[in-house]
Structure 1
Amino acid sequence: MKTKIVVKVSMNDDKSRTKAMQISVGISGVESAALTGQERDRVEVVGDDVDAVELTRQLRKNVAYAELVSVGEAKNEAPATAAAAVVAPAPQPAVVWTSYDRFPQYPIYEMRSPSYEPSCTIM
């Protein structure tokens, strides 16, 4: 059963709105999230088995004061609009990676001759 949760959060700038969206989509079970309201101060979340209390607590902890406005069953409006708005996906260009290096890699060897031993063994 899909649940629709609306939480009113006091947000003043785009940074706090972005943070609220990141927190709301990070909760387990969330399928979609949107900012609604005239001042874009409400976070509307739709998903299966979404914990409304956990969402509100996370928003209060990380963004600002949050008030749980409503919790209810989500209405299925998407299938009617999804059938009308079917768009064919654009073909993706092929990506080809080269298998050679630009510069040759030469191994480096360090050879120490026995005559180069220091005379003082303490140091």
Structure 2
Amino acid sequence: MKQKVVIKLSAVHDEKSRAKAMKTAVGVDGVNSASLQQDKGLIEVTGDGVDVVLLTTLLRKSLKHAEVVSVNSVEEKKKEEEKKKEPEAIIQYVMGCPPQYLCPPCPPYEEPGCSIM
């Protein structure tokens, strides 16, 4: 399940702490992307099966303060796009019956007469 996690961080004013936060967030298993909003002090992490507790703990170890703001599931846009697409043309091959060959009729079977009698 793809999910979006928003975590509030403290002290992300200098370049060193921003780089440390991004490196820590991207290092967690399942994270696909991470973005940092510097003015609000938030980091948004998107991924598949992200362990939120582990991510928050690692950010607390590196930056001293991290608080989970929200965890939301992300619906995939591909499903909507697939529904909107028109069905593709289907090529269907029609196979006829196999050719039938006519054989001339066979002569009726006659028992050979006994030449001795």
* Deviation beyond 6 Å, 4+ runs, structure 1: none
Closer, same or farther in 2 for the Cα pair 1:31/1:68, shift >3 Å?
same
Partner of 2:60: 60
Q: CA deviation at 1:6?
A: 0.4
Could you tell me how far apart the structure 2 residues matched to 1:41 and 1:79 are? 33
User: 1:56/1:6 Cα in 2 relative to 1: closer, same or farther (>3 Å)?
Assistant: same
Give matches, 1:66-85, under 5 Å.
Answer: 66-76=66-76
Task: Map 1:80-91 to 2 at 5 A.
Answer: none
Q: 1:75 to 1:42 in 2, by over 3 A?
A: farther
RMSD, aligned CA: 2.1
What amino acid sits opposite 2:24 in the alignment?
I
1:12 paired with 2:16, answer no
* TM-score, normalised relative to structure 2: 0.61
Match of 1:100 in 2: none
Structure 2 unaligned runs (5+)?
A: 81-117
Output the CA distance in 1 between the equivalents of 2:79 and 2:34. 18
Show CA shifts across 1:2-23 (max 9, x none). Answer: 0100000012211101100000
CA 1:60–1:78 in 2, change beyond 3 Å: closer, same or farther?
farther
CA deviation after TM superposition for structure 1 residue 76, in Å: 3.7
Identical columns (%) = 47
Instruction: Identify if the C-alpha distance between structure 1 residues 76 and 58 changes in structure 2 by more than 3 Å, giving closer, same or farther.
Output: same
When normalised by structure 1's length, the TM-score is: 0.58
Once residues 75 and 36 of structure 1 are traced to their aligned partners in structure 2, the CA distance between those partners, rounded to angstroms, is 22
Q: Which has the larger radius of gyration?
A: 2
